[in-house]
Amino acid sequence: MLLSVVTPMYNEREAVDQFVARLRPALDGLGAEYEVVAVDDGSTDATVSRLLQLRADWPQLRVVSLRRNVGHQTALRAGFQAVRGEYVVSIDADLQDPPEVIGEMLALARRDQVDVVYGVRSDRSTDSAFKRNSAGLYYWTMRRLVGSSLSDQAGDFRLMSRAVVTVLNSLQEPRPVYRLVVPSLGFSSGEVRYARQERVAGRTKYPLSRMVRLTFDSVTGFSAAPLRLATWLGLFSFLLCVALIVTALVAWGSGGVVPGWTSLYIAVLLLGGIQLICLGLLGEYVGRIYMASQQRPPYLIAHDTASPAPAETSVPAVRTPS
Ligand code: UDP
Ligand code: MG
């Protein structure tokens, strides 16, 4: 049995030594064959060169370098397509997810014969209040879209069987959000609880802009419900309009005049705003269709320590189920 560990890394030079120092003993202690695939997501610091140094006395470490920064989820995808293991674990490189939990995950998966084991954060007190609250709101919304199979506070620290990874690799959508896609597939699952630690070094690579983008991808990837918002708002405006016509006619019949200016510009601006929001929403979906139709490779591999093939030929075969 081979266990594969996928770790996306973006400018993690400061964290990588401590990460390896804890991951390695945790994996060596499992008594199972394993490989670690570090996906360098176009880092601009010395992450890659340090990884290559570490590889010299840790042959199980494989370094896959992407040509440019493609983001956490797509880096994970590159990892999932590169690994060969029967079980695949994805873990962040900043030690917020404790590597020691991997053993527990593997034991649970084998004992209960489940396909997915989620790492669930039971304690996020080390995250900032803003991060906790925004995450709370995110999971609350997503549970409504994906369904209750979505475990609260399950991020990207999880173990999956080969069957799950095969399905993930065959997805055609441009930017799958794995933490939502995996629960939605309906594989049997278990949970391991752990306390979320503080980042050991470096800064978060998820500024607000990326969190907003993840949220947009999550919502548009799972539901067309926002499109229906336009219909409801339109219906509401229409009913309101009918009511106003009646009021105006009654006022006119009784010789009065409805005062105009304020109500007029409120109506115009409100409707204009609503229309722009609905157009923007529509645009999000059209944009996804457009990107899917372009069929560009979501990432390109610049260098992979496991394959001596020249980089240009290692374009991922993402469009064909593997
Ligand atoms: N990461 C990545 N590409 C990116 C951003 C982040 O590969 O564009 C990696 C990062 O190196 C880390 C993981 O994704 O291993 C999670 O990122 P981070 O810890 O910054 O996110 P947070 O824990 O703050 O949500
Ligand atoms: Mg982190």
Q: Which ligand is nearest to the CA of 39?
A: 1
- Is the CB of residue 134 below 6 angstroms from any atom belonging to ligand 1? no
pLDDT at 60: 95
Q: Is the dihedral of CA 69, 55, 308, 99 positive or negative?
A: negative
Task: Give the ligand whose atoms come closest to the C-alpha of residue 69.
Answer: 1
Largest interatomic CA distance in the chain: 93
> Which pair of tokens denotes residue 41?
């997501």
Angstrom distance (rounded) from CA 45 to CA 242: 62
Classify strands 61-66 and 116-123 as parallel, antiparallel or unpaired.
unpaired
Residue-wise pLDDT for 167-180, tens only, equals 999 998 888 999 98
- CA dist 82 and 66 (Å) reads 12
Residue from 6, 94, 156 to probe ligand 1 pocket by mutation (most atoms less than 8 Å from CB): 94
Q: Is the CB of 97 under 6 A from ligand 1?
A: no
> What is the assigned CATH class of domain 3-203?
alpha beta
pLDDT band at 311, cuts 50/70/90?
low
CB-CB neighbours of 28 under 10 Å:
12
pLDDT at residue 310, rounded to an integer = 57
Q: Ligand 1 within 6 A of 8 CB?
A: yes
What's the token pair of residue 265? 């510009």
The mean pLDDT of the chain is 88
Q: Which residue has the tokens 């705003």?
A: 273
Range with the lowest mean pLDDT among 2-16, 127-141, 150-164, 239-253?
127-141
Residue 90 Cα to ligand 2 middle (Å):
13
Question: What residue owns the CA closest to ligand 1's atom 2?
Answer: 72
- Which of 93, 10, 8, 91 lies closest to 47 in space, CA to CA? 10
Q: Give the distance (Å) from ligand 1 centre to CA of residue 92.
A: 7
225 CB contacts (<8 Å, ≥6 apart)?
Answer: 145
Ligand nearest to the CA of 128: 1
pLDDT at 151: 75
Which ligand 1 atom is at minimum distance from the Cα of 203?
A: 20
Q: Dump the DSSP string for 231-280.
A: HHHHHHHHHHHHHHHHHHHHHHHTT-----HHHHHHHHHHHHHHHHHHHH
β-sheet bridge partners, residue 318: none
Tell me the C-alpha distance between 157 and 97, whole Å.
7
Please write the tens of the pLDDT for every residue from 167-226.
999 998 888 999 989 998 989 999 999 988 888 888 888 888 888 888 888 888 888 888
- Which stretches does DSSP call E strand in 23-164? 33-40, 61-66, 87-90, 116-123, 154-161
Tokens 């370098």 identify what position? 65
Residues 102 and 29: beta-carbon distance below 8 Å: no
> Looking at per-residue confidence, does 240 or 149 come out higher?
240
Instruction: Please give the average per-residue pLDDT across 19-29, as a whole number.
Output: 95
Q: Please tell me the distance from the alpha carbon of residue 84 to that of residue 117, in angstroms, as a whole number.
A: 18
pLDDT digits (tens, 9 = 90+) for 223-279: 888 888 888 988 998 899 899 889 888 988 888 776 777 878 888 888 899 899 889
Closest residue by CA, ligand 1 atom 17: 205
Res 320 pLDDT > 50: no
Q: pLDDT value at position 99? A: 95
Q: Assess whether the C-beta atom of 69 lies below 6 angstroms from ligand 1.
A: yes
pLDDT for 52-80, tens place per residue?
999 999 999 999 999 999 999 999 999 99
Give percent above pLDDT 90 in the chain.
52
Phi/psi of residue 299, nearest 5 degrees? -155, 160
User: What residue owns the CA closest to ligand 1's atom 16?
Assistant: 92
Band of pLDDT at residue 321, cut at 50, 70 and 90 = very low
**Ligand 1 neighbourhood includes 130 CB (under 6 angstroms):** no
List Cβ<8 Å contacts ≥24 apart for 286-289. 288/173, 288/174, 288/220, 288/221
Percent of the chain with pLDDT over 70: 95
- How many Å apart are CA 181 and CA 222, to the nearest integer? 9
Q: Tell me the best of 92, 178, 199 to mutate to test the pocket of ligand 1, counting ligand atoms within 8 Å of each CB and taking the most.
A: 92
Backbone Cα Rg of the chain: 25
d(CA 47, CA 12): 6
Residue 280, token pair as written in the block? 């923007």
- Ligand 1 neighbourhood includes 72 CB (under 6 angstroms): yes
* 69 CA → ligand 2 middle, Å: 17
Q: Which residues pair with 317 in a beta bridge?
A: none
